[in-house]
Structure 1
């Protein structure tokens, strides 16, 4: 069962999610781990002032000249 977050608990959860997101966690991963919906995690991240990453995960690393593929 999903828990409703209000007041200080909501602010604390938003900051906790932001720290994990800023450390590289995905929104989907956070939703699973914290048993929240994707939309709730996204909303909490935005309320915490998080700048969301673009879609698509990590970008492929470009090879430097002379580096094997």
Structure 2
């Protein structure tokens, strides 16, 4: 687990990005990955993007149902 205010740069950032990409490609959600490494959703999203990950579309039903 990484500290919240620790800057991740250079080879460590590339390595973490590759590890997150592998887990995300295996089906883990960004929120799950963020919780697992103790970082924010935005940080994980940014690292996945930097690692060249093709992100999945939003899950679940995104349309609102009419009131019944």
Q: Give the TM-score normalised by structure 1.
A: 0.78
Per-residue deviation at 1:56? 1.3
User: How many residue pairs are counted as aligned between the two chains?
Assistant: 57
* Cross-structure match for 2:9: 6
Q: Give the TM-score normalised by structure 2.
A: 0.80
CA RMSD in angstroms, aligned pairs only? 1.0
Structure number with the bigger relative contact order (C-alpha 8 A, sep ≥ 6) is 2
Larger radius of gyration: 1
Q: Runs ≥4 in structure 1, deviation > 3 angstroms? A: none
